[in-house]
Structure 1
Amino acid sequence: MGTPSRDLVVTLNPLKLDDTLSLAAEVMWRLEVPAVPVVDERGLYAGCISIFSLLRRRAPASTKVRSLVDRVPPLETLSDPVAVARAFVKTGYPGLPVVESGKPVGVVSARRLIQAMGLKPRVPAELLMYKLEPLSPDDPVERARKLAGDVGLRLVP
């Protein structure tokens, strides 16, 4: 596979099938990754667990990782960022495991891929928000209703 870009891959120790969901959530939180690879008893890639898996199932923290492992094809090469992007689109998974010789070495997130490809948002944040002037206590109720209706708000500042 070659040496993966440090900007692209978060290196981590994979989870084991008998680890708990509490540990999985802690690793995701601490390393700021959306998914963590899981290994079998021999240390070989067995699948992946994602934040979506945790949220969707809402299982108790003591539940074993094995019950939520997803079969996600791992990345074996990172030489072509477009191919990595295609893997994200194909799987719909928020983070893809990176393996070397069948053993997980880290995870790539879509966010890190976008950063590594040098893609930046082209739309300024101010264009994504409504510019509202707060209402004052002296404003008529009709002004508040009109403002809420114009921008589709339920509450008006």
Structure 2
Amino acid sequence: MKVSEIMVTDVAKLTAEDTVAKALALMVDRSIHQVPVVDESGAYSGMIFAKQFLASSAQPASKLKSFVTSTTSLSPDQEVEDAAKTILGTGSRALPVVQDGKLAGMLSETDIAQTADFGHAIVDEVMTGAIVIEEDTPLADAVSKMRRYNISRLPVISKAGVIRGILSILDAAGIMAAPTERTSKSAAISGGRSKVKGEVKVKDIMRRAISVERGTKLNELSDYFKKNEELVVVGDGRPIGVVTPKDALELVLPKKGEIAIHIAHMGDEDDRRDIEDHLTKFVKKIQGQIRDLQNVVVYADKHRTRKYSVRCRLITGKGVINAHAVGFDPISAVKELIRKLDRQVKAEHTQKVKQRKKQRGTPRRG
């Protein structure tokens, strides 16, 4: 299947002279986290992301030219499987489809997930553990939590721990960018805790969460993903994990007969190689403990505080092992990440050994 067969051609786009406020209004209206930027001739210039505005104290009146980011592009004739690998490798939700320098369309992880066959895989195998927020929490605190964990969404719970809704970066950006009588039109979107931001609570702007039970097959979720970027996996009404189209696609990454390590967000090639070298050694070390390891997906980010955060997902035939670490350089961050992964792998391996011994020690009835 070719990219041209499933890409979206009715694409919202902006120019470098448009403002941050206009971009955010468009994102909120279309429920999209990124918008392509084109010049007067329709040539693709780059992309802008909602996350950028929250991370950079952007002024609503600022021109977008300061925020345009160069991205990888896809071609209409590219195979969808190859495009999926490219999208996951960049860590973007979607990439532009460019032909002769002009923007021809967009292809998102959601578009691909709706065409993929996940076999008998269930949500338990790909979900990420849920980091939650209480509904009465101030919005500013929720945004800080998303920044701290480098995530885009938070399941919202009651004091009793029951799921009440979902809050995303886009929800927060929309409310904080909107001018009110008590905030200046030039107030920074992610600046200090303004009066309005302090008054707004998570429950005031959260959306209804779409939830599924553990054991739900991924192939049953395509219709949900058409209108929702995330599904909350629940047990007894309480959030256990979150599943996104990206999580599902990681399960069907192209395999080459050996364990593949996919690193996203890291632009520096030397840092990328260092991270890959450390993880390759770690993967070889644990292969005796995890025999069905299929893919390793890493998201590495550099922050304004000069810190690096690294998230990793070890995708196995029976589930996903997640870890997150922070360091002042990529190597210290990945070493801490490996220590955390190693502890989890050892704990799971020990549990499996105990279960096997218990099964062998159980007398047969006859």
Please confirm whether the aligned pair reaches a TM-score higher than 0.5, indicating the same fold.
Answer: yes
Per mean C-alpha deviation after superposition, the further-off stretch among 58-67 and 121-130 is 121-130
SS for the counterpart of 1:62 is coil
- Residue 62 of structure 2 corresponds to 63
C-alpha distance in 2, partners of 1:106/1:61?
27
SS for the counterpart of 2:54 is helix
- What amino acid does structure 2 have at the position aligned with 1:123? V
Higher relative contact order (CA 8 A, sep 6+): 1
Q: Is the 8 A contact 2:20 2:63 kept in 1?
A: yes
Q: Is the 8 A contact 1:10 1:108 kept in 2?
A: no
Q: Is the 8 A contact 1:44 1:103 kept in 2?
A: yes
- What amino acid does structure 2 have at the position aligned with 1:36? V
- What amino acid does structure 1 have at the position aligned with 2:234? M
C-alpha distance in 1, partners of 2:46/2:73?
8
Q: Is the 8 A contact 1:12 1:106 kept in 2?
A: yes
Q: Percent of aligned positions with the same letter in both sequences?
A: 27
- Residue 51 of structure 2 corresponds to 52
C-alpha distance in 2, partners of 1:35/1:132?
32
Q: Is the 8 A contact 1:11 1:106 kept in 2?
A: yes
- Residue 340 of structure 2 corresponds to none
**Residues 116 and 25 from structure 1, CA distance in 2 versus in 1: closer, same or farther, beyond 3 angstroms?**
farther
- Residue 234 of structure 2 corresponds to 129
- How do 1:137-156 and structure 2 match up within 5 A? none
C-alpha distance in 1, partners of 2:70/2:81?
22
SS for the counterpart of 2:18 is coil
- How do 1:1-157 and structure 2 match up within 5 A? 4-5=4-5, 7-9=6-8, 11-77=10-76, 79-119=78-118, 122-123=122-123, 125-127=212-214, 128-131=233-236
Q: CA deviation at 1:12?
A: 1.8
Per mean C-alpha deviation after superposition, the further-off stretch among 105-114 and 80-89 is 105-114
C-alpha distance in 2, partners of 1:62/1:82?
40
TM-score (norm 2): 0.32
SS for the counterpart of 1:24 is helix
C-alpha distance in 2, partners of 1:51/1:108?
18
**Residues 119 and 69 from structure 1, CA distance in 2 versus in 1: closer, same or farther, beyond 3 angstroms?**
farther
Q: Is the 8 A contact 1:10 1:107 kept in 2?
A: yes
Aligned residues: 131
Q: Is the 8 A contact 1:18 1:66 kept in 2?
A: yes
SS for the counterpart of 1:97 is strand
Q: CA deviation at 1:56?
A: 2.2
More strand by share: 2
**Residues 21 and 78 from structure 1, CA distance in 2 versus in 1: closer, same or farther, beyond 3 angstroms?**
farther
Q: CA deviation at 1:11?
A: 2.0
